[in-house]
Amino acid sequence: MGKIAVIALGGNALLRDNQVGTIEEQEQNTTETLENIVFLLREGYDLVLTHGNGPQVGNILMRNDAGEQLYGIAQMPLDICVADSQGGIGYMIERMLHNVLHRHGIRRKVVTLVTEVVVDPEDSAFQQPEKRIGKIYSREEAERLSREKGWIFKEEIKEDLSGWRRVVPSPGPKRVLNAEIVEELARRGHIVIAAGGGGIPVYFDQEGMVRPSEAVIDKDLASSLLASTIGADEFYILTDVPYVFLNYKKKNQQIVEFLDRVDSLRYLEKGMFGKGNMAPKILAAVKFVENGGEKSVITEATKLEDKKYGTKITLHYDDNR
């Protein structure tokens, strides 16, 4: 069997911070990102792609809100919004990838799977919701929505805009439903797009019925779990920096090219990775190698093929030699 690589597309892979978010912008960004994974196909890898959905699902929530206020259209719950984003983003990646493969003369099938991910309804995250989603509201709007819908808000302070933003739980992923189908398709040589936005969070009730959960799952942790479940060999997290830095954007920042499990966890405990951005990626990378993966790589999409870039995380330092 050939090697399987799981590639988590995130950061500026789909939408840049300074962009409006038009479909033309997203398609161009996606195409540029996908061009950088062609070398893995030429080297014989089978690929599974995952992706984030932060800006896109935020826009869906805003359309929800505007539709209700202006036209009385019923709002959809968060799980439906995540599913919508999986379908839309998955379609975009699938179409752009078909075109990239065509230009390079590579014959592979591409398929997108709407993916549910099981979470524990007793996860402590449900008692401490912290993941910010959607737009910024005024205090009055936040108080009204809190009364009417039971939403929880936290204050948001930015340079250009301040107010209140909805927060939801972000429980840890426990199981990726239909992971065996992802593996089967990948091992047949098909490129699979799955677990978009961390997956749609669901749980099983006492009768064994699948129920939705008003939460979001970290994309990198879900991707790591999927990679481990399907027996992937390598796990790539594409972000907006070519390396992982210790003490990022501080005077004593330092590039790290190689990390093992012990040092990664030690640096995490000391808070030397950004809590809201790099720390979850490091944790996801470590979990993958703990569960048998050969290596995790965190880098920027355009640097992926050049092996001198990227932070490589393995179980032991000797594994990098």
- Asked if 196 is an active-site residue, the reply is no
> Alpha-carbon dihedral of residues 141, 144, 150, 153, nearest 10 degrees?
30
Phi and psi dihedrals of 93, rounded to 5?
A: -60, -45
Residue of 58, 90, 199, 281 marked active site:
281
Contacts of 68 (CB under 8 A, 6+ apart): 74, 75
- Rg of the chain in Å (alpha carbons): 20
**41/50 Cα distance (integer angstroms):** 16
**160/63 Cα distance (integer angstroms):** 22
Residue of 12, 29, 36, 53 marked active site:
12
- Residues linked to residue 154 through DSSP beta bridges, in sequence order: 165
**Which helix H or strand E contains 117, and what residues bound it?**
strand 116-119
- Asked if 295 is an active-site residue, the reply is no
- Asked if 154 is an active-site residue, the reply is no
**Which helix H or strand E contains 118, and what residues bound it?**
strand 116-119
219 vs 9, 135, 196, 245, 280, CA distance in Å?
A: 9, 20, 7, 20, 9
**103/35 Cα distance (integer angstroms):** 10
Residue of 134, 219, 287, 293 marked active site:
219
Q: Residue 144 corresponds to which amino acid?
A: R
Q: Give strand ranges (E) for 4-107.
A: 4-9, 46-51
Residue of 53, 131, 134, 199 marked active site:
131
- Asked if 105 is an active-site residue, the reply is no
**191/212 Cα distance (integer angstroms):** 28
- Asked if 29 is an active-site residue, the reply is no
Give catalytic residues, as residue numbers.
11-12, 131, 219, 281
